[in-house]
Structure 1
Amino acid sequence: MKTARIFQRPKNSMQSGRSRTDMWLLEIEPERPQEADPLTGWNGGGDTSTQVRIAFPTLEAAKAHAEREGYAYHVVPAPERKLKLQAYADNFR
């Protein structure tokens, strides 16, 4: 049985807004670790299902999809946002 991870996309450190952080993503976890290719040395594997990432508008929709497809899933809670209030004058203290 495949295992899926459901989580919210974190805010990119290079962006100031919260665009696309409200979507829930379903990602299938690999069943076995990746192996190094003896010729190139790159990591890889034959399991292409780990490359699939599906976006859902709500957590309930992501859970329903995982149950419908027969995936065991676990939900990773979204990190709590910390608001850092800072004034421009604080740069010169």
Structure 2
Amino acid sequence: MNDKRFKIANREAWIGVLLVMINFAIWFGFAYGLGSGDPTEYTYVLGFPAWFFYSCIAGTIFMIVLLYVVIKVFFKDVPFDEEEPKS
């Protein structure tokens, strides 16, 4: 099958996989980078430990913005109807 919709869907799936890996890297980096020390030495942001704030709150906000940009720039609206055969 030589349908361009499959090529678009495959590219968008790989973009989704990349976004998941970025999200995990941000979460893991902050959670275990800042949170691996002694809890008595934690710094706090808005009442949350810095590792939690940056990995869970700021990371989520960053990913929402990144997803919005990626969807607007890279994703295409693809019709689900089968293409009519060309004569």
Task: Specify if TM > 0.5.
Answer: no
Greater length-normalized contact order (CA 8 Å, ≥ 6 residues apart): 1
Going by fraction, where is helix more abundant, 1 or 2?
2
